[in-house]
Amino acid sequence: MLTDTFNRTIEYLRLSVTDRCDLRCTYCLPEGFKDFEEPEHWLSFEEIERVVGAFTRLGVKHVRLTGGEPLLRARLPELAQRLKGLPGLHELSLSTNATQLDKHAAALMQAGVTRINVSLDSLQAERIAQIAGRDVLPKILAGLHAGKKVGFDPIKINMVVMPGINEDEIDAMVAFCITHGFTLRMIETMPMGETGRNAQHLDLQPVKARLREQFGLVEGFFSGSGPARYLQTPDGKFNLGFITPISQHFCETCNRVRLSVDGTLYLCLGQDEKVELRPLLRSGASDQDLADIIQHAMTIKPERHEFREQPAKLVRFMSTTGG
Ligand code: SAM
């Protein structure tokens, strides 16, 4: 079992399979950004399988494929299938912008991915083009449709809510998710890199209070002990999550670490503590060496992020870490 110095059990690994993305969301990657990891630094499927195997032997039960945009990594379903076969792995999920999900949904489902999170900040094509830098709403909707058709359940929609940008679409997004049976999660913008810092965050606490009242929502429970706190309709059919790193953080229940495409193990989304695993993997380290370094890494996992106290601290973009 992996336990850190604050007595938190780590059983969730977010695995970035690429730092590249086909979108340039204003709060994530700067326009024209090209400073991506060199392909020779990307962990190969064999290396990923080895590291994830080390984690599952240490008690990690859930792996999420993320990025960048994970569907840009060639043969992702093949990697998913290999990981799904690892003993001890209970759940394999995916975070995607869904621009290419219609092509890959069936193969991913077949490979053993069961749950997906899809980023969708607006239901207006022009706005998506402004926020994401490309006119991709129809592609995203096609991806969502394909995901639903092949049976991903739940499908969670992640909406980064920004004042003056898309806050007027909160109700429309709630209605959209109720209609389609999706879970909605609203996210406060995090000051990650200059893009995250330049984007405004909207305090979601008043939004939560208003929606609770308006839709008669009650406290909800939702599996996956993540940072989202949920409300739900009394019949339990619609779940509404709030990821509020700025107005109310939940670091005390943090159960995760992140592995970037170049084999860097980040211990906290909002701090710099990290351990490089690639040199070890490429210099003949044994499985025991890997297990030892992963266990050691737990001793430097920070207690919490400081997005609120030190918003200028983190120069890394979300897509570099594996959001
Ligand atoms: N491309 C995939 C996707 O769209 O889900 C996975 C990676 S993306 C970086 C993961 C999530 O991080 C997305 O929902 C995105 O909106 C969110 N994100 C990126 N930068 C952020 C920031 N500064 N604050 C809050 N959320 C951010």
| Spatial distance between the Cα atoms of 274 and 287, rounded to a whole number of angstroms | 19
| Spatial distance between the Cα atoms of 102 and 138, rounded to a whole number of angstroms | 11
- Number of residues in the chain: 323
Asked if residue 99 has its Cβ within 6 Å of ligand 1, the reply is no
Ligand 1, atom 3, lies closest to the CA of 96
| Spatial distance between the Cα atoms of 201 and 187, rounded to a whole number of angstroms | 9
pLDDT at 228: 86
Structure tokens at 187: 């996210």
Query: Tens-of-pLDDT digits for all 323 residues of the chain?
Result: 999 999 999 999 999 999 999 999 999 999 889 899 999 999 999 999 999 999 999 999 999 999 999 999 999 999 999 999 999 999 999 999 999 999 999 999 999 999 999 999 999 999 999 999 999 999 999 999 999 999 999 999 999 999 999 999 999 999 999 999 999 999 999 998 989 988 989 999 999 999 999 999 999 876 555 788 899 999 999 999 999 999 998 899 999 999 999 999 999 999 999 999 999 999 999 999 999 999 999 999 999 998 988 888 878 888 888 77
Asked if residue 65 has its Cβ within 6 Å of ligand 1, the reply is no
Asked if residue 69 has its Cβ within 6 Å of ligand 1, the reply is yes
pLDDT at 222: 66
Structure tokens at 200: 């405004």
Whichever domain contains 166, its CATH number is: 3.20.20.70
pLDDT at 123: 98
pLDDT at 88: 97
| Spatial distance between the Cα atoms of 267 and 258, rounded to a whole number of angstroms | 6
Structure tokens at 260: 């970037």
Question: Between the CA of residue 154 and those of 102, 157, 238, 241, 249, what are the distances in Å?
Answer: 17, 10, 11, 13, 24
Task: Give the range of the structural domain holding residue 32, as residue numbers without chain letter.
Answer: 2-321
Buried-exposed string 112-135: b where 16+ CB fall within 10 A, e elsewhere: bbbbbbbbbbbbeeebbeebbbee
Instruction: Name the CA radius of gyration of the chain, rounded.
Output: 19
Atom of ligand 1 nearest to the CA of 118: 5
pTM value?
0.96
How many structural domains compose the chain?
Answer: 1
DSSP state of 271: S
Structure tokens at 213: 């009242």
Asked if residue 196 has its Cβ within 6 Å of ligand 1, the reply is yes
Phi, psi of 124 (to 5 degrees): -105, 125
pLDDT at 226: 77
pLDDT at 224: 55
DSSP state of 26: T
Q: Residue 170 CA to chain centroid, in angstroms?
A: 21
Ligand 1, atom 12, lies closest to the CA of 323
| Spatial distance between the Cα atoms of 203 and 162, rounded to a whole number of angstroms | 9
